[in-house]
Structure 1
Amino acid sequence: MRYDGLLIAVEKAATLSSSYRLWAKSRYFSYHALDVDEEHVSAIHRLLDDTDESRTVEVQLITEPDGPRGPAAISVRAGERTIGYLPDYTASKWSGIVNRVLASGFVPTSDVDIDMYDENGVLTSTPTVSVMLGNPAYAIPMNDPPRVPYTILPRSSVVYMTEREVDLHTLRRFVRSTRPGLLFVTLHENTAVTCAEPRVEVRINEERIAQLNPQMSQRFHSMILHLNKRGLVATCLAYATSAAKAVTKICIEIDEAPQEMLDAPPVTFPPLPPARADPLAYDLTPMRALLAPPPPMPAVMRPSPQEPDEGSVVRFKRTGLFRQYNFVAVRRGDHWETTATSDTWVITQQMKWDALTARARTFEIATSWAPADLHEDARTPEHRSVIRFITGRGHLAAAVNIFGDWYTTITESMARQLPIDGVDAWSTIVQHGEQILLARDWKPLNPTVASDT
């Protein structure tokens, strides 16, 4: 079951090799670039659609004690294939956690980001793959899950508790490590309080370690009672921080659960074997078959599309820092003029075909055109509509409608000689353009890559 970004196992339904989602403190995670060899590239490409420039993929972290990189190596796999390895320094910090989860019969998982471009924005044969991992101290809880029926609440808001709300003496009996860490805690109605407003206690093993303030208690009280009626204890994860060799603070990460989650099957974590000082001391015998490095995939060739004829119009997309951009380009002689507004990004106003296909993955070519009804055609002003027209002294141009603004293939230098600018209004194009045609049909330009096994 997946809920709120957390992959978990439903109690009594966990099987060998079920996934155990490593917990990442939501505000303090980081990405680690994987070591990617040439033999991993095909497996990475298979995770991407033809139109993907980047993608986030869930992956498994699996040690390979008998693999070529040594007993502490941690492979990162997706689709039953290795897509890279954690760098040695990162693997040394995570091998104990990964092996502890594997020894329980579960497979630790996280996410990776795949990027097909290098630092210059050019499509690269070796994609950049980065795995999301937080502080190892917060990856798995320090204590066992509750022994009574329970369900994990969704995570979102961090509820900080003051020293007055936390019983540090009791808390330190459960947290003997001087390091920060993650804890299973349960939430209960405090029936001993004789005030009008409900109060909620935070407990470990039925012992009170803290109490929520009146506002937070009111917020979560009804949710706790609803789960209690189902025979479940509301459970969440808490962050314990330390200073001067002792636990000094605790906060819980929790959010209100929607009704479908309150009535759904319990969300639980499996218990793990005791932590060991030596990361290689865990018994991984039941998972031996999984730990063997899988064979590499055959290479996948992605040839560039053949350059279309003079006057052809193509469209393509390119992902920027915060959004996806839609471009149109028209072939004029030995180069292509695009709807880019400047030459400061990876897509410039004039480009050779080889350079253009190195910076975008897929293209579509306009295959049929129809005269645009300049006053009544409802499709002309639609978002991402594409037109072709003549302006000035026979200058062929194209334009794409982006939320009402028409981005044209007219470069900055040509705009000084023509009555239409790089970005202009429909009324200006109608006034100064001739033979205005609206693209009706498109077909993929990229060649089909034969599948291999």
Structure 2
Amino acid sequence: MSMPFDVWGQRGWASVEVAGESHHAKAIRTVLGNDFKPSGTEVRVDVELVPEPDNRHDRHAVAVRAGKHLLGYLPREEAVRYSPILSRLVSQGWTPRVMARVWGSEWEGYEDRRHREFHGSVRLDLAEPHMLAPANAAPSSTHRLLPYGHAIQVTGEEQHLDTLSAWLRPEGECWVHATLHEVVQQTARASRTVVEVRIDDERIGQLTPKMSGDMIPTIQHLAEQDTITTVRAIVKGNRIKTEVVLHALRAHELPDTWLESRASTQQARAAAPTVPAPPAPNVTTATPASEPIPPPPTSFRFNPPPDWPPPPPGWTPPNGWRPDAAWPPAPPGWSWWVASWD
């Protein structure tokens, strides 16, 4: 049985239009509920993104469903980008979910004024494919993930570039699980308590004294429950300049309902899905059809093997894309990328 997973990177606004709503007007109208007003009604609901590799029209098809109701599909060009990571999440036992803005209205028909026509639309709050899931697993010990909040800048990352290099991505950024820890620092004249930030239990920086003061009450509250404070973090940059930005509610922003609940060991150990690091570029060894295609070097274009379906002009595999398992494997030593002027 799969578990629901609210994909990361949602920011509260829906910008991705769903295709084919006109074919699913009845389902959209049902989702709008009994409070629907013909002049126009909008609701926000969680919807599931369901890859359909056996879809006879498009093997990259991704259905958008609200419970048992099919509301439409990701546009074809978006489905090509999103289906690989969504399929991977499904294969790991997760059901990807996002927030959707569902809108609908009715007006008189052009030819028959006694007949009212319904028109609906669905838009999704969907981040870029590489930002849908974290690149590392959540802590194996009991932990709680703080609710998403405004950006919090980590300081001192320049002292930990070697550690952070493991999280650099071709896209320039990725999500990770980070943990917060209360530590005492000794200065020349006195000591001070600050928050240390770790990724996979390795220090990668700290919060300013002022921001530490906003987070320490939460850390202490969870520590009393033998629970580690975990947050969403974005690692972005390159090997000479890397930044880490947390997204979490501060102590005074946490709702009482969150503070009153406790993390169960079972819930805490249900690690979120991950997006593994992409393979190194310039791979020249044989790559089975089931493995991801390596990312392109600069000024190179994708070179599909013989007997593969030809890709659209200018298309390159998005991060984590895998060819269809039914396609023949690439010949040994196949060059995935050739100079763009070839």
- Cα distance in 1, alignment partners of residues 83 and 136 from structure 2: 19
The residue that corresponds to 1:233 in the other structure is: 228
Shift of 1:270: 2.8
Mapped pair 1:34 → 2:18 = yes
Kindly report which structure 2 residues correspond to 1:46-445, keeping only aligned pairs within 5 A, or say none: 46-52=30-36, 53-117=41-105, 124-162=117-155, 164=156, 166-179=158-171, 180-193=173-186, 195-243=190-238, 248-255=242-249, 256=251, 257-266=254-263, 268=268, 270-272=271-273, 275=276, 277=292, 279=321
- Cα distance in 2, alignment partners of residues 80 and 247 from structure 1: 47
Percent identity, aligned pairs only? 24
- Cα distance in 1, alignment partners of residues 183 and 166 from structure 2: 21
The residue that corresponds to 1:412 in the other structure is: none
- Cα distance in 2, alignment partners of residues 260 and 82 from structure 1: 33
- Cα distance in 2, alignment partners of residues 153 and 235 from structure 1: 6
Contact 2:151 2:248 in 1 (8 A): yes
Structure 1, unaligned stretches of length 5 or more? 1-15, 284-453
Q: TM-score, normalised by structure 2?
A: 0.69
Contact 1:75 1:85 in 2 (8 A): yes
Q: Which has the higher contact order (CA 8 A, sep 6+)?
A: 2
- Cα distance in 1, alignment partners of residues 103 and 3 from structure 2: 28
Structure 2, unaligned stretches of length 5 or more? 111-115, 277-290, 293-319, 326-342
Contact 1:167 1:208 in 2 (8 A): no
Shift of 1:63: 0.5
Contact 1:203 1:209 in 2 (8 A): yes
RMSD of aligned C-alpha atoms? Answer: 2.9
Deviations 1:29-64 (A, max 9, x none): 651111125442211111122432221121000001
Deviations 1:345-383 (A, max 9, x none): xxxxxxxxxxxxxxxxxxxxxxxxxxxxxxxxxxxxxxx
Task: Name whichever of 86-95 and 29-38 sits farther off.
Answer: 29-38
The residue that corresponds to 1:383 in the other structure is: none
SS state at 1:84 partner: strand
SS state at 1:46 partner: helix
Contact 2:158 2:241 in 1 (8 A): no
Change (3 A) 1:41 1:107: same
SS state at 2:89 partner: helix
Contact 2:185 2:191 in 1 (8 A): no
Q: TM-score, normalised by structure 1?
A: 0.53
CA radius of gyration, larger in: 1
- Cα distance in 2, alignment partners of residues 274 and 111 from structure 1: 21
Contact 1:104 1:273 in 2 (8 A): no
| Amino acid corresponding to residue 139 of structure 2 in structure 1 | P
Number of aligned residue pairs: 264
Contact 1:172 1:246 in 2 (8 A): no
